[in-house]
Amino acid sequence: MEVFIGRQPIFNTLEEVYSYELLYRNGIEKNQFPEIDSDLATVDVIVNSFFSIGFEELANGKPCFINFTENLLMSEIFDHLNPSQIVVEILEDVPISEQLVQRVKELKARGFRIALDDFVMQEDIHYYQELFTYTDIIKVDFLISTKEERKQIEKRVKNEYPHIALLAEKVETREQYQEAVQIGYKLFQGYFFMQPQIIKGNEIPANLLQYYRVIALLRVEEPDIDQIAEGIEHDLALSYKLMQLINSSSKRSRSKIRSIKQAILHLGLEDLKKWIYILTYRESQKFNSCGTFDELMKTSLCRAKMCELLAKYNRKRNTSEYFLVGMFSLIDALLQRPMNTILMKLPLSDEVVETISGSSSFMQPYLQLTIALERMDLKMAYLIAEDLNINIDDLLEMSKVANKWSNTIC
């Protein structure tokens, strides 16, 4: 399933990229904002940035501006975001109120940078002094605002709030850019520099029912981590997103993940719960799937279970790693991206990565045996089984168990 994000660079006075603004898009052809609920658009941008495309790939080490509606500004979504990565862009239709000022103050204290979008001074607003105290950037629309409206903002910021950087947006000509520089604008955005690029990625369709099952397990008074891990293992989309989340979050570490349970413990139940709520909200609004993806996910889960059963049969340690090998062995086909690019962004152990990549490893024969059975290459399957000291009758029985297990999930 293809997903899209618009990315438009923001430049400084040296015409160097200062940051990017991430924009909701639903296709590659039309470079414009489609009709969609604004809350869902922002959530979609966040989910696609962190899970489907990858924040590091989008941002290139730069902070990213993301639009926030009034509802989302007042929500707990910021509990899941890294302040060093996000510039909170407050949309122009958010009412400037005491409640907004208090929320901006809280977000500023957490380390978030605050930008006001398409800003125009209004006579009946009494909260500008407090709001500007916590504001880092004011975006001024050069296309629709008048010179008088711009002067009001420019004069007040220059005289009273020198810490605020003025950003000239919708700059479409060299003359507009030079005018903004002379006035004192520090940042610039618009078609004069570059139209938004459409960044495309692929997403694994979610099993919405499984999301709700995991939420139910998380809501009990004393959550059972083993049950939660099993619930996530049943869903390839959730498993992949969990790995991506760890790799993108502030909790990223050098330790490699060897099981879904370890991933949950590494992230923490509270963070897991918050992100699953965001994913569930988003998926309940736009749920889609197709036969090809369904079959690939079913095959991936069957491989995961078969590799785990084979490892248990031979009394291997860390059988959960064998499960991950099978689960992510088709991730390149699901996401339609090179395997090495995907694996670089997942905190998997070196052994798991080497096995999935096709390198020689102690787990490689187990994956090869699983694939041989899947392709009904019985000659190859029996040869590998013999090398692994696996009885043929037991092998066929394990294959039945794995297929039954994956059929009950997908």
Amino acid at residue number 37 = D
Give 343's contacts (C-beta < 8 A, 6+ positions apart).
328, 353, 356, 357
Give 232's contacts (C-beta < 8 A, 6+ positions apart).
214, 238, 239, 242, 260, 264
| Residue 251, pLDDT above cutoff 60 | no
| Residue 102, pLDDT above cutoff 90 | yes
Within 192-320, strands assigned E span: 197-202
Amino acid at residue number 338 = P
Domain boundaries, the chain: 2-201, 204-285, 291-409
What pLDDT does residue 68 have? Answer: 94
What pLDDT does residue 33 have? Answer: 47
| Residue 246, pLDDT above cutoff 80 | no
What pLDDT does residue 205 have? Answer: 61
pLDDT tens digits along 15-64: 889 999 998 887 655 545 455 678 888 888 887 777 667 777 788 889 99
Q: How far is 203 from 351, CA to CA, in rounded Å?
A: 25
Q: Between 86 and 37, whose confidence is greater? A: 86
**Mean pLDDT in the chain?**
84
pLDDT tens digits along 279-321: 766 765 554 445 566 677 788 889 989 999 999 999 998 888 8
Amino acid at residue number 162 = P
What pLDDT does residue 287 have? Answer: 44
pLDDT tens digits along 357-379: 999 999 999 999 999 999 999 99
pLDDT band at 202 (very low <50, low <70, confident <90, very high): low
Q: pTM higher than 0.75 for the full model?
A: no
- Three-state secondary structure call for residue 340: helix
- Fold topology of 2-201: TIM Barrel (3.20.20)
Contacts within 8 Å (CB) and 24+ apart, 246-249: 246/347, 247/345, 247/346, 247/347, 248/50, 248/54, 248/55, 248/56, 249/82
What pLDDT does residue 81 have? Answer: 83
Averaged pLDDT for residues 342-363: 87
